[in-house]
Chains A and B, each alone.
Chain A
Amino acid sequence: MTRIAAICAVLLLTACASAPRQDLGLEKIRADLQALQDNEQIRRHAGAELQAAEAAVRRLQAPVQGSNKDDQRQHLAFLAQRRIDIVRARANEGQEREQLAQLERERDRILLQASLQEAERARAEAERLRLENVARAEEAERALRDAREAREYSEQVEKEADLAREEAEKARRLAQTQAREADLARQEAELASATADSLRRQLENLQAQETSRGLMFTLGDVLFEYGESRLKQESLQNLDRLVGFLEQYPDNTISIEGHTDSRGSEQFNLDLSQARADSVRRELINRGLPAARLQAVGLGEEFPVASNDNDPGRQQNRRVEIIILNDSQQ
């Protein structure tokens, strides 16, 4: 009894197993279709092909009528299988196209980057050139400045040289001036000494003598023409000196006294001596001495200063004496 049941079960199992084996192809096709349907990418890339595949699978699952059912089922399975393959191929193509589009965008980006890089390089090159130009301009400016400084320096040096030259010239002129002043001083000194000499000579020439009445000058006989009262031309120069001397005593009265030797008549000698004294007085007045200060007197032969026995004595006696009278004598 149990054996029969076991056999029945085995038969039943065998019958169960044999039916799905024929459907193995269909099961695989369904699973493949399901996988495709679940794939978002495949639906996107091959939507139409997927619909065709779904239709093919539906026809495969539909009840088959007609004589040769197996052939028909095999045919429909072939179609469904190919439709599924087509879906895969088209989806694959779509993915490739998508990737291609992405790669083309990437290429565009690369080219853009390249052009940006090129632009940047051009900009950098332009900047480099600009900086180079700036540097050149600065160099030119510096050279200009150096030249200007050099010129200014040389001008300064020239100016200093001019200044030094001027100072040297000034110093030279100063030295000349000093030399001239020294010369002048020397000349003045010489002049002073000459004046002193001249006064001394005058005194000598005029034979000045200190007397009790005052300072006395004797104009010698040689100053007059023989027997005349007129002064010789060369005596006038002696008178110049006398005038210069007398002017130094502006407050004193001056007495002009004429003398002769003993030859000739007494009256003649008195007249001659008076005439000669007057002649000298006149001459002194002519030269600017005030007449009031001058008194002239002829004393004749009464006051000889030497012997009348020989010529040198007589010559000494023929004279005019000019006395700057002391204050007490006036």
Chain B
Amino acid sequence: MKKLTLAVATLAGLAACASVPLDTSALDRASSAVDRANDAGSVEYAPLELRAAREKLAEARIAAEERNGDLANRLAAESLVSAELALAKSDAARARERTRAQRESNQQLRQELQTDSGREQ
């Protein structure tokens, strides 16, 4: 009976200590988002957003170490959206590159075709 009372008291104390509880899954989600952005070439296509995502993730981890749940959660969420933005911008940039490459390829094909038809006549 005494033991149970002590445990409840400890939990209550912990809860009181951290005004907002730490969401560790938010840190994980931000971390994997940063990894995805990195894999998508954000170092090249969205370096500012990627750096922001990394810095905020690092700060979030520090805040989590310091048991500042509220700050850690906010920084994790900000890191997540920054990483997602980096990923989206990288995706868009790569799509743009592929489009440009295709446009050039088409142009070349058209020229070859015209040369062919010119040779034919």
Chain A: residues with CB nearer than 8 A to chain B?
Answer: 49, 67, 71-72, 75, 78-79, 82-83, 85-86, 89-90, 92-93, 96-97, 99-100, 103-104, 106-107, 110-111, 113-114, 117, 121, 124
A111 and B117 contacting across the interface, CB-CB below 8 Å: no
* B110 interface hit (Cβ, 8 Å): yes
Tell me the chain B residues, 40-86 only, with Cβ under 8 Å from chain A: 74, 77-78, 81-82, 84-85
Distance between B63 CB and nearest chain A CB, rounded to angstroms: 12
A100 and B74 contacting across the interface, CB-CB below 8 Å: no
B95 and A86 contacting across the interface, CB-CB below 8 Å: no
* B29 interface hit (Cβ, 8 Å): no
Q: Who on chain A is nearest to B53 by CB?
A: A82
- Told that A92-B96, A96-B92 touch, could you supply 17 new A-B pairs with CB distance under 8 A? A75-B74, A75-B77, A82-B81, A85-B88, A89-B92, A90-B91, A93-B88, A96-B99, A100-B102, A103-B102, A107-B105, A107-B106, A107-B109, A110-B109, A114-B109, A121-B116, A124-B120
Which label, helix, strand, loop or mixed, suits the secondary structure of the A interface? helix
Which residues in A have their C-beta under 8 angstroms from that of B105? 107
* B89 interface hit (Cβ, 8 Å): yes
Q: Who on chain B is nearest to A113 by CB?
A: B113
Can you report 11 A-B residue pairs in the complex whose CB atoms are below 8 A from each other? Answer: A82-B84, A90-B92, A92-B92, A93-B95, A96-B98, A99-B99, A100-B102, A103-B106, A110-B109, A113-B113, A114-B116
Say whether, besides A100-B98, A103-B106, A117-B117, A79 and B78 are in contact (CB < 8 Å): yes
B106 and A89 contacting across the interface, CB-CB below 8 Å: no
Q: A296 CA to B40 CA in the complex, in Å?
A: 176
A110 and B110 contacting across the interface, CB-CB below 8 Å: yes
B85 and A86 contacting across the interface, CB-CB below 8 Å: yes
A83 and B81 contacting across the interface, CB-CB below 8 Å: yes
Which of A67, A96, A99, A113 gathers the greatest number of chain B CB atoms within 10 Å? A96
Q: A99 CA to B78 CA in the complex, in Å?
A: 32
The size of the chain B interface, using a CB distance under 8 A, is 27
Partner of B78, one of A75, A89, A90, A103: A75
Distance between A14 CB and nearest chain B CB, rounded to angstroms: 33
Q: A67 CA to B71 CA in the complex, in Å?
A: 12
Which label, helix, strand, loop or mixed, suits the secondary structure of the B interface? helix
Say whether, besides A85-B85, A89-B91, A100-B102, A79 and B110 are in contact (CB < 8 Å): no
Distance between B74 CB and nearest chain A CB, rounded to angstroms: 5
Q: A49 CA to B91 CA in the complex, in Å?
A: 14
A93 and B116 contacting across the interface, CB-CB below 8 Å: no
Q: A85 CA to B85 CA in the complex, in Å?
A: 7
Pair count A-B, CB < 8 A:
76
Say whether, besides A78-B78, A79-B78, A113-B113, A86 and B106 are in contact (CB < 8 Å): no
Say whether, besides A79-B77, A96-B92, A117 and B102 are in contact (CB < 8 Å): no
Q: A103 CA to B116 CA in the complex, in Å?
A: 21
Partner of A93, one of B74, B77, B84, B91: B91
Partner of B120, one of A49, A82, A92, A117: A117
Partner of A110, one of B74, B81, B106: B106
Q: Who on chain B is nearest to A67 by CB?
A: B19
Q: Who on chain A is nearest to B103 by CB?
A: A103
Q: A231 CA to B98 CA in the complex, in Å?
A: 159
Distance between A108 CB and nearest chain B CB, rounded to angstroms: 10
B120 and A111 contacting across the interface, CB-CB below 8 Å: no
Distance between A88 CB and nearest chain B CB, rounded to angstroms: 8
Q: A83 CA to B80 CA in the complex, in Å?
A: 11
B82 and A82 contacting across the interface, CB-CB below 8 Å: yes
Q: Who on chain A is nearest to B83 by CB?
A: A82
The 7 A-B residue pairs with the shortest CB-CB distance in the complex, in nearest-first order: A96-B95, A89-B88, A93-B92, A82-B81, A103-B102, A92-B92, A100-B99
Distance between B75 CB and nearest chain A CB, rounded to angstroms: 9
Distance between A192 CB and nearest chain B CB, rounded to angstroms: 102
Distance between B83 CB and nearest chain A CB, rounded to angstroms: 10
A104 and B102 contacting across the interface, CB-CB below 8 Å: yes
B85 and A82 contacting across the interface, CB-CB below 8 Å: yes
Which residues in B have their C-beta under 8 angstroms from that of A114? 109, 112-113, 116
A86 and B102 contacting across the interface, CB-CB below 8 Å: no
